[in-house]
Amino acid sequence: MKTRLKGVEKLTTTNNRNRIIPLFLFALLGALFVGNVVVSDIEFIEIDSGCQKYFSDDDGDGANGMIEDPECWEYPYQDGNGESPTSNPQSPQSPGESYQPYFDLTVDFVRYFIEVECNNVLNNCIGTSFTTETEFYCFFSDNVMNLNFFDIMDNFYNKPGVTHIDDGNLQLYMQTCNQGLPPVYAENLPILVHQASNPIPPEPGNQGGFAK
């Protein structure tokens, strides 16, 4: 009798295993489709190194990097020609292409600037005294850039003859910087899809505007 019971137990265990394995595979496939399981990390195409070097003029036209050079504004990505004109630029929002959204690219660029110029500290960064990185970003766009980020992105996405589909960049910029009075700035800059940089720590003791 014991032998028979063991046989039944073994058979039941085998049957259960046969039922569980397909269910597990089905659940795994379902998770893949809904995005709960990461198959591989996406490698985003980000800012060109020549454009990121805001302190140098690689093409000798008198304009330095992303702050000043129109060629960087027109196509800032690393698969382009940097400060030199990029002919036949790719469409960063084309299906299957993993280009960093333009808004996220500008956030990474401003944080890079803060890292190089101010050692990742907002206090007295280029003579300012802002509480949050969001305030500094909006100030930087209007006062440091030769053309503000909104106009740069607007020209990029609405340039005649070039199909670049805006997937929320302009709207997110407006929500971030173009607010009513008095403006209320978020502690950290929002993210659209992908940012390679880390947020800059806030400075609660700062008063905003220029340092005194």
pTM attached to this predicted model: 0.76
Mean per-residue pLDDT, 154-158: 92
Rounded distance between C-alpha atoms, residue 72 and residue 81, angstroms:
8
Do residues 164 and 93 make contact, with C-beta atoms less than 8 angstroms apart?
A: yes
Q: In this predicted structure, what is the pLDDT of residue 12?
A: 40
Higher pLDDT, 104 or 5: 104
Q: In this predicted structure, what is the pLDDT of residue 90?
A: 63
Q: In this predicted structure, what is the pLDDT of residue 24?
A: 43
Bridge partners of 45, per DSSP, are 99
Position 212 pLDDT exceeds 90: no
Other CB atoms within a 10 A radius of the CB of residue 74 amount to: 16
Give the start-to-end residue ranges of the domains of the chain.
1-39, 49-177
Give per-residue pLDDT as tens, 87-113: 766 666 544 568 899 999 999 999 999
In terms of C-beta density within 10 A (0-12 exposed, 13-18 middle, 19 or more buried), how is residue 202 classed?
middle
Backbone phi, then psi, for 99, in 5-degree steps? -85, 140
Q: In this predicted structure, what is the pLDDT of residue 14?
A: 45
Tokens 């893949």 — which residue? 32
Q: In this predicted structure, what is the pLDDT of residue 43?
A: 85
